[in-house]
């Protein structure tokens, strides 16, 4: 059985020539792209082929977000208007320390529903200290492609004790999860994920680097997101954050550093020289008032910069369209120059650059013959996208006008995961209901002051 995506208004391939094909088709067989462009359908047609009419759609490579926190979706709307370190200490860490095993699973499913419906086909998830296995189970069920890892934290006086683990025990759990999930179905991968320098001893960070090297997997950590964080790292180590990470071996082609806002010029060059990947999370950086990363400057130096929504409580969505729009707009305003971030650069960040960070650039990230069929179809139906004539640029439509609700189909490994806006692999109604119940209990258990605030503001009928 094959899949024919027929007569697309445009196919934005993001291939090496950056070809955009008008009125083109794609044929997929056994999960891979067999042909792209203008071909005789009869050449491939089989009786049981699935056919999608794409005449009113823009077809793009599936979007890739290289930094999300699936667990934190349970905390959406519970941690607004705080700066990074307070956001962590007052809300996120207590919540992460208390959420149940079932809560982790449903938070992951809820996030995956949002991501898939919004056309994201691959992720790097910054996992959980507790119940990481549940996240992999949810990712497996959903059909998404991507990596996740157990969060390593062995040091922090201000984090709840449930999150601070014995270094050796944490690393050994990380290793057994790696052995269980890395390479599962060729779709799921393990990634070593120490939280950030302030939450980890040097022993833990060095062991994390060693674990990633030993098994040939990637490593991700948060770095230089916040000025106070950078100051504390300098106080503890005598070095700037990225300089310190470099000293202990955490730079290079298998390393993805998230945020990288507060960097010295030397650190920026260091990232380029070592081939370290950087994930930019514009919405989270704006909402936590962390600052604006120097993305055009990093790209100019040759750094591979990718995109991610980060966690729902600091965004508050996991929407790649919002991230693309913000990534473009904030640089234009920062540099007072509308040309510094084009739609095409931003689209590369959300596709091919993301694939490179995952180490999957030969498999996904663009629509090319031989690659895995991870494909997103964006409908041209909504008035917000029109007019759309032969003179319009589909890249502009994707980055500046489209929204996640315009995604009609999300295809991963040649399988239709989202069909006409509906996720086929996860029960949306059940997940939403269960999540509400779990989170209500969690808030009551923690007796957070937001319960008090809510009482003040919302008057219910019962009085």
Nearest residue (CB) to Zn ion, 25 versus 285: 285
Question: Min. distance of Cβ 87 from Zn ion in angstroms?
Answer: 11
Reduced to 3 states, what is the DSSP secondary structure of residue 331? helix
Question: Min. distance of Cβ 132 from Zn ion in angstroms?
Answer: 15
Nearest residue (CB) to Zn ion, 310 versus 319: 310
Which tokens sit at 15?
Answer: 């291939």
* Contact in structure between 332 and 296 (CB atoms under 8 Å): no
Smallest Cα–Cα separation from 126: which of 157, 158, 152, 101? Answer: 152
Distance CA 209, CA 438 (A): 35
Give the interface with Zn ion as residue ranges (CB under 5 A).
310
Nearest residue (CB) to Zn ion, 13 versus 66: 66
Q: Which helix (H) or strand (E) holds 349?
A: helix 343-349
Nearest residue (CB) to Zn ion, 25 versus 316: 316
Question: Min. distance of Cβ 287 from Zn ion in angstroms?
Answer: 12
CB-based closest residue to Zn ion: 310
Ramachandran region, residue 37 (left: φ > 0; alpha: ψ -120 to 50; beta: rest)? left
Question: Min. distance of Cβ 124 from Zn ion in angstroms?
Answer: 10
Smallest Cα–Cα separation from 276: which of 291, 296, 256, 301? Answer: 256
Reduced to 3 states, what is the DSSP secondary structure of residue 102? helix
* Contact in structure between 289 and 251 (CB atoms under 8 Å): no
Instruction: Report residue 35 CA to chain centroid gap.
Output: 28
The DSSP output letter for 90 is I
Question: Min. distance of Cβ 78 from Zn ion in angstroms?
Answer: 16
Nearest residue (CB) to Zn ion, 103 versus 311: 311
For residue 289, count other CB atoms closer than 10 A to its CB. 11
Nearest residue (CB) to Zn ion, 229 versus 310: 310
Question: Min. distance of Cβ 136 from Zn ion in angstroms?
Answer: 18
Helices 428-446, 101-117: inter-axial angle, 10-degree rounding: 130
Nearest residue (CB) to Zn ion, 156 versus 310: 310
Question: Min. distance of Cβ 285 from Zn ion in angstroms?
Answer: 11
């Amino acid at each position: 059985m094959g899949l024919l995506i027929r007569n697309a208004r445009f196919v934005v391939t993001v291939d090496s020539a950056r070809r955009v094909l008008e009125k083109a088709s794609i044929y997929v067989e056994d999960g891979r792209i067999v042909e792209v462009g203008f071909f005789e359908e009869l050449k491939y047609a089989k009786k049981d082929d699935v056919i999608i009419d794409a005449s009113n759609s823009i077809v793009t490579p599936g979007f890739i977000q290289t930094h999300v926190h699936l667990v934190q979706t349970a905390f959406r709307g519970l941690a607004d208007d705080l700066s990074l370190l307070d956001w962590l200490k007052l809300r996120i860490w207590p919540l992460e320390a208390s959420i149940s095993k079932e809560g982790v699973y449903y938070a992951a499913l809820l996030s995956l529903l949002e991501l898939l419906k919004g056309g994201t086909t691959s992720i790097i998830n910054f996992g959980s200290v507790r119940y990481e296995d549940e996240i992999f189970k949810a990712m497996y069920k959903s059909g998404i492609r991507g990596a996740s890892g157990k969060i390593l934290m062995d040091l922090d006086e201000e984090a709840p004790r449930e999150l601070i683990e014995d270094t050796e025990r944490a690393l050994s759990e990380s290793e057994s999860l790696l052995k269980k999930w890395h390479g599962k179905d060729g779709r799921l991968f393990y990634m070593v994920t120490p939280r950030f320098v302030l939450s980890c001893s040097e022993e833990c960070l060095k062991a994390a680097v060693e674990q990633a090297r030993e098994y040939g997997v990637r490593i991700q950590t948060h770095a230089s997101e916040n000025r106070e964080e950078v100051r504390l790292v300098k106080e503890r180590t005598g070095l700037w954050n990225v300089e310190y990470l470099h000293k202990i071996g955490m730079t290079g082609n298998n390393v993805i550093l998230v945020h990288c806002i507060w960097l010295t010029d030397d650190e920026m060059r260091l990232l380029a020289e070592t081939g370290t990947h950087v994930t930019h999370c514009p919405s989270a950086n704006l909402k936590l008032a962390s600052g604006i990363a120097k993305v055009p400057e990093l790209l100019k130096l040759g750094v591979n910069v990718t995109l991610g929504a980060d966690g729902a409580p600091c965004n508050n969505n996991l929407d790649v369209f919002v991230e693309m729009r913000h990534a473009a707009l904030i640089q234009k305003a920062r540099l007072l120059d509308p040309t510094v971030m084009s739609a095409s650069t931003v689209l590369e960040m959300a596709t091919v650059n993301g694939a490179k960070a995952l180490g999957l650039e030969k498999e996904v990230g663009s629509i090319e013959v031989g690659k895995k069929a991870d494909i997103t179809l964006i409908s041209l139906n909504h008035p917000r996208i029109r007019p759309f004539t032969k003179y319009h640029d589909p890249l502009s439509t994707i980055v500046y006008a489209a929204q996640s609700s315009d995604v009609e189909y999300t295809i991963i490994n040649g399988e239709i995961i989202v069909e006409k806006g509906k996720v086929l692999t996860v029960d949306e109604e059940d997940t939403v209901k269960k999540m509400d119940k779990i989170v209500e209990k969690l808030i009551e258990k923690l007796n957070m002051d937001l319960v008090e605030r809510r009482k003040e503001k919302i008057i219910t009928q019962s009085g």
